[in-house]
Structure 1
Amino acid sequence: MTSISVSKATHEVMTTERVSALTNMAQKDSALISQLDKEISDAGAQANDLRARGMVSKALELEESVSSRAAAQRAQALARLNAGSLEIAHIKSGVAKASSLTPLLAQFLCLGFAMSLEIVPALILAGVRSSGRSSTGVVASEAIETPSLGIEATGLPEGVTETPETPKTGETLPDSNAEILKTLVAQAKTLAPGTPVRLKEFAKNSRIGNLRAGEIFRKAETLGVIKKTTIGYVAA
């Protein structure tokens, strides 16, 4: 705001001085034109007097010399007057436009510019933060939707991996877990105590999955025909 006021004051001083100089020059040119007109008039009177005395040639010489010199100077003065008038009009119109910017309006313009310097960077920063949060949310949702391999393996005995379960058909599988459990119990009774009973091998022979075999082994353990140790299931 201070710089605007200083610039405006400087402009007013410069234009005022220029207008004053042009006005003084116009006054001098106006006085010169009046003087030249008087010289032409006086020369005409003298030429008439010379003609009255019979000096026609001298009268013509006087009129030509004075009129040619005065006409040239008069034309130059008129040109300066016209140029000065146009420049004064241009300066005054510029001053009028500049004066239309009131101090209150200048303050509002400065305030708006200052606010834009603070608001625009804040909006850009907020947009960047929002974009970063959206990207984080997408990554998190993808991680939640992706199934975990560790979850599927929960419930299997240590050292046992999942074996794809053979599709159930009437020719390949017994009717229920009860029949498979009977087979496991019968097999365990034929083994000496402490003999390993391989869950994976039993699942393969019974053509069932490891998860289903694990459930049957736990039921057999509750019946006391097998027991679980650090090395796996063994006959009881």
Structure 2
Amino acid sequence: MPAWARWVLLIIAVALGSVTALSVSTAVGALIADPLLSRVYAGAAVLLDAYKYLAWPIALGLSGAGRKGYAFLMIATALVLGAVSAWATYDRALTAVLTDQARKVAIVEQRIADLQTVRADALTRLATLDDEARSIGEQARQLRERDIVTKAQLLENAALPRIAAQREQALLRLDRVSLELTELRSQPQAAAGLTELLAMVLCGFFALALEVVPALIGAVLRLSAPLATASATPVAQVPATPVMRPATADAGPVATAATPVAVESATDEALLQTIREMAQGAPPGTALTVRDVAASARVGTHRATKLLRAAVELGELRKTTSGYVTA
């Protein structure tokens, strides 16, 4: 995997993990009334959430090193913490969606009801002003029929401009109310068509994805990371001088310096030479499987495994969590 791709995946995992950490901290903080304890437990929840994601790559390393018991315990604790974190994320997301949806609907409905009341009052006011204008006109007509033209003129000059001004104000108010009502009714509702059941399902899958995706990214980065050192198995140091055995009557030849690997026969030495040629012909970090070695050396898988271990001790290969690779 290229280095830039590893960094991109790491940034994505950290960003997604921060979402669950924030969800857990807010959920735990909301459960505790005491401000100090709320902050303390919220911080502990963030640390446990970070450990939850680190536990997966660490467990893979422990499993590859043969510490399967420790790996199982870390995976078990990560699953428990993941369940708590998923619940917190689900609860925060669902509460936010439903609360915001209900709040917007309530605000819009209440505003529409208020505007409809104002509109009804404006229409009533217009009807009252029209009645008053007709009444003034009728009084002025009666005064003219009685030849009281001056008083009729004064009555109309005093009442009709006032009625016209009030009528204009009522019409402006009615126009503004109609425009706002039209705008409110044309706005799309928050999460339109999203029922409570569908919101629960979406939030559940979202919480599950936030738990699984960062853990998978951490595991992939751990498996694809090349190890800088060889296997941690210590190799006995070779004595500087040959170890001599006491001479006897039937003593064999003098013992020479011990070698790091006990080669059973010349056949094993030839097979090791085959592995050396395979390792030298491939770039560093190339994986060598037991099946490939068995096929090249024409031996069984059990003997191929023994030869690979011997090659590791000789420094020809390296043992990683994903298998044997060239040094």
Normalised by the length of structure 2, the TM-score is: 0.37
Higher relative contact order (CA 8 A, sep 6+): 2
Computing the radius of gyration from Cα coordinates, the structure with the larger value is 1
Normalised by the length of structure 1, the TM-score is: 0.49
